[in-house]
């Protein structure tokens, strides 16, 4: 593998014995009225006001994240490196806090170490750079009191996905835009199809709301993005099947994070983003998709996935 001047070419889940906890506040949302009672249609005024208040917060948070993402992706270079390094540090902090919230200082040091290691890895010759990626998983596994293998595996996967995002942006902004569009299309079409069609659950023990109809619709959304790349960007037809695989990887990224949170007994990775939870809650699908895309491009080369 190469440094940043290189190309990409180069058990069942059950609740943990931890005391259940949620990072989210349990108080009613403050974005609307807290009047009690029901309106003429039999709908709770409190619930309705809280629902719309939370929606406003979610939309505002999403708009801010989108604006930052667009600007930094457009700028590229060191600015994109900084964003990825910061995000990975936060995600590792969330990971450690979900496992052992009683020791926040330890989680913070793991986050700082992650940022330092990834920063060094991006500018280090390939063999030493990838050796650095083992530092945080190993030290975290030694420091944490439980779920050591889970932490090590997840932390390593996050770092590899972050490295992949940097390499994709270095090769071409269009690659990164395509990846993001695949994840968004899969998520949006899957959500609405699942809500409208319902049907059998995809993996009820881990993610009770996900349905097969939504999952398959998500594949269709990813394929549509691939077709758009063929028609409008001149990519070859291989990108259609690659889009479906990457879209499914994004869905599994979401499933894996849901399984991890269920195992830890938490609702959200953290409460850093108002109305959304944590960074892992928002970018789990993107990280899963990036990890698999990097693997595909390493095995097949860009031409093998239609790029």
Structure tokens at 10: 């180069």
Contacts of 271 (CB under 8 A, 6+ apart): 23, 24, 25, 277, 278
The answer on pLDDT for 162 being more than 80 is yes
The contacts found for 184-187 with CB under 8 angstroms, 24 or more apart, are: 185/218, 185/221, 185/222, 185/224, 185/225, 185/247, 186/218, 186/219, 186/221, 186/222, 186/247, 186/248, 186/250, 186/251, 186/285, 187/218, 187/221, 187/250, 187/254, 187/285
Contacts of 196 (CB under 8 A, 6+ apart): none
Task: Give me the helices (H) in the chain, please.
Answer: 45-75, 77-99, 104-122, 126-132, 135-143, 148-171, 173-197, 212-233, 238-264, 279-304
Average pLDDT over residues 104-116: 94
| pLDDT the model gives residue 226 | 93
| pLDDT the model gives residue 275 | 74
The rounded distance, in Å, linking the Cα atoms of 288 and 269 is: 16
Q: What is the pTM of this model?
A: 0.78
| pLDDT the model gives residue 44 | 46
Domain spans, the chain? 76-171, 173-307
| pLDDT the model gives residue 69 | 85
| Residue from 260, 15, 81, 25 nearest 155 by CA | 260
Taking only the tens place, the pLDDT of each residue in 210-231 is 889 999 999 999 999 999 999 9
Taking only the tens place, the pLDDT of each residue in 253-301 is 999 999 999 999 998 999 888 877 899 999 999 999 999 998 988 888 7
| Residue from 193, 223, 197, 198 nearest 208 by CA | 198
């Amino acid at each position: 593998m190469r440094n940043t001047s290189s190309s990409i070419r180069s058990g069942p889940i059950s609740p943990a014995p931890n005391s259940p906890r949620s990072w989210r506040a349990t108080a009613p949302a403050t974005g609307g009225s807290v009047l009690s009672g029901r309106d003429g249609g039999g709908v709770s005024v409190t619930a309705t006001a809280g629902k719309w208040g939370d929606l406003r917060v979610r939309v505002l948070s999403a708009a801010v994240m989108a604006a930052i993402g667009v600007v930094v992706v457009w700028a590229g270079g060191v600015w994109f490196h900084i964003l990825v390094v910061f995000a990975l540090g936060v995600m590792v902090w969330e990971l450690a806090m979900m496992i052992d919230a009683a020791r926040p200082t330890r989680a913070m040091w793991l986050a700082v170490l992650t940022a330092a290691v990834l920063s060094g890895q991006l500018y280090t010759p390939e063999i030493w750079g990838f050796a650095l990626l083992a530092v945080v998983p190993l030290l975290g596994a030694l420091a944490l009191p439980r779920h050591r293998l889970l932490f090590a595996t997840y932390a390593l996967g996050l770092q590899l996905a972050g490295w992949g995002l940097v390499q994709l942006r270095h090769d071409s902004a269009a690659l990164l835009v395509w990846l993001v569009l695949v994840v968004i299309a899969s998520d949006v079409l899957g959500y609405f199809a699942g809500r409208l069609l319902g049907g059998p659950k995809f993996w009820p023990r881990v993610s009770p709301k996900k349905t097969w109809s939504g999952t398959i619709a998500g594949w269709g959304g990813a394929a549509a993005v691939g077709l758009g790349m063929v028609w409008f960007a001149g990519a070859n037809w291989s990108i259609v099947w690659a889009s479906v695989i990457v879209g499914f990887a994004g869905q599994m990224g979401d499933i894996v994070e849901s399984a991890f949170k269920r195992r830890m007994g938490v609702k959200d990775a953290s409460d850093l983003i108002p109305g959304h939870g944590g960074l892992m809650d928002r970018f789990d699908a993107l990280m899963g998709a990036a990890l698999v895309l990097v693997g595909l491009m390493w095995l097949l080369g860009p031409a093998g996935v239609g790029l």
